[in-house]
């Protein structure tokens, strides 16, 4: 490759490099899911996609980005997989079928789930895998997150997360799970796990656990896939999760300013997406009208109260506390108790809320440390607040959030 072309151009032109990076992030999940369906082998698919991405980074700066980069990546990755199968002399039935599938572009039955990415989530949510491993594996395969990023999201060492993901792949391979097309009965059985995975994917996109502040590709994909699930299964909880995502996503443009995270109470509400807010509110009304709301529906209702207020000072905190009370009845958790305490601070004061927070056993939960720091700040306990901000900073790898926490800590003075 001659000087000034190829990868040199990407190095010299950061904007072009970022464009390629954005395409890779957006297409990674689809390409991986397609290759896993065709190959029936997770490791082979991942390796082939990784090689295709390297090839893209080498060729696109010189040749230009292809009109359909996703198709280009899929074809290139398929060719890489064929080369490896032939090079390594793999000739068992599984790999022979994979060669026939890729060489002849034969369609493969997909069962009730036609979307490759959604199908892969249902596969990853097989009962043979522990819930936390389902989520980690999905974030790795569909989200394209590194093991380090996933480990930070789960607050575990990188080596521990690497072992979890490896064991999950081995269990899937041993159980022949990837080659089983999810049946109609599997959809309902695995629905709760699928919704939990989609919500975690959305959260990772809305506030990434590391690096850049937001990953719009992940949150957009989570919303798209949730809509897909809703087209397959009728359930108020699916509508509730979709509403929760839409009402949260509506605030994206106001979420970060000049590289610094902007908390809900300080956001410019004129920048919220009114169409997403309206759709989310309509879904919440429909859910609540059905009666007996589930956890996602109640969380969506809480977000509806927030987004219904034209100004933070007009928020109906009493209603929010009541909704958290309902949530704690049907799904008790220290996380819900923490969020309820934050709302209680607006009704009964920071001293009452701090007592509630300090009763919780969440020593390494980052939002709990942030909430404690903010309550201590409001009580003018500056030394303790500074220490709490330091503890929260130690657990945060998101650049926008770190900038916000540093600014809050520095504003305490010496």
Quick count: other Cβ atoms within 10 Å of Cβ 253?
15
Better pLDDT: 246 or 190 = 246
The pTM of this model reads 0.81
214-259: pLDDT as tens digits:
678 788 889 999 999 999 888 999 999 999 999 999 999 999 999 8
**Which tens digits make up the pLDDT trace of 268-288?**
999 999 999 999 999 999 998
Q: Work out the percent of the chain whose per-residue pLDDT is above 70.
A: 86
Residue 4's pLDDT is what?
Answer: 43
Q: Is 157 helix (H, G, I), strand (E, B) or coil?
A: coil
Q: Which tens digits make up the pLDDT trace of 25-54?
A: 778 888 888 888 777 778 888 888 888 888
pLDDT at 176: 63
Which residues touch 382 (CB under 8 Å, ≥6 apart)?
376, 412, 413
Distance (Å, whole) CA 106 – CA 179: 16
Q: What is the pLDDT of residues 286-310, one digit of tens each?
A: 998 888 899 999 999 999 999 999 9
pLDDT band at 1 (very low <50, low <70, confident <90, very high): very low
Local confidence band at 311 (pLDDT 50, 70, 90 cut-offs): very high
What average pLDDT score do residues 4-21 get? 60
> What ranges do the domains of the chain cover?
7-104, 353-414
Q: What are the Cα distances from residue 97, in Å, to 32, 60, 82, 241, 292? A: 18, 31, 11, 38, 48
DSSP secondary structure of 307-373: HH-SSGGG--HHHHHHHHHHHHHHS--HHHHHHHHHHHHHHH-HHHHHHHHHTS--TT-HHHHHHHH
């Amino acid at each position: 490759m001659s000087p000034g072309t190829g990868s040199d151009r990407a190095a010299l032109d950061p904007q072009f490099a970022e464009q390629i990076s954005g395409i890779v992030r957006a297409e990674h999940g689809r390409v991986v899911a397609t290759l896993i369906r065709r190959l029936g082998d997770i490791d082979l698919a991942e390796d082939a996609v990784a090689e295709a991405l390297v090839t893209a980074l080498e060729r696109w700066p010189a040749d230009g980005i292809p009109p359909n980069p996703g198709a280009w990546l899929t074809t290139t990755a398929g060719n890489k997989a064929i080369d490896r199968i032939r090079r390594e002399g793999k000739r068992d039935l599984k790999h022979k079928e994979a060669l026939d599938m890729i060489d002849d572009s034969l369609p493969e039955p997909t069962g009730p789930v036609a979307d490759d990415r959604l199908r892969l989530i249902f596969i990853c949510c097989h009962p043979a895998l522990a819930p936390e491993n389902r989520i980690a594996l999905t974030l790795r395969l569909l989200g394209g997150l590194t093991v380090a990023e996933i480990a930070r999201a789960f607050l575990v060492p990188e080596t521990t997360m690497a072992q979890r993901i490896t064991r999950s792949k081995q269990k899937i391979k041993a159980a022949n799970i990837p080659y089983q097309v999810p049946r109609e009965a599997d959809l309902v059985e695995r629905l709760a796990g699928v919704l939990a995975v989609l919500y975690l994917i959305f959260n990772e996109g809305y506030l990434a656990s590391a690096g850049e502040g937001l990953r719009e590709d992940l949150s957009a994909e989570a919303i798209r896939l949730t809509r897909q699930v809703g087209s397959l299964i009728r359930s108020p909880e699916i509508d509730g999760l979709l509403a929760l995502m839409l009402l949260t996503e509506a605030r994206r443009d106001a979420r970060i300013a000049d590289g610094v995270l902007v908390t809900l109470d300080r956001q410019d509400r004129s920048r919220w997406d009114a169409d997403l807010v309206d759709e989310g509110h309509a879904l919440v009304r429909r859910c609540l009208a059905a009666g007996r709301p589930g956890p996602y529906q109640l969380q969506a209702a809480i977000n509806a109260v927030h987004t219904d207020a034209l100004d933070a000072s007009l928020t109906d905190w009493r209603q929010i506390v009541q909704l958290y009370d309902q949530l704690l009845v049907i799904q008790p958790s220290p996380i819900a108790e923490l969020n309820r305490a934050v709302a209680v601070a607006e009704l009964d004061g920071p001293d009452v809320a701090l007592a509630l927070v300090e009763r919780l056993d969440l020593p390494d939960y980052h939002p709990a440390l942030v909430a404690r720091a903010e309550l201590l700040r409001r009580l003018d306990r500056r030394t303790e607040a500074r220490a709490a901000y330091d503890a929260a900073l130690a657990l945060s790898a998101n650049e926008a959030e770190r900038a916000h926490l540093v600014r809050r800590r520095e504003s305490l003075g010496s």
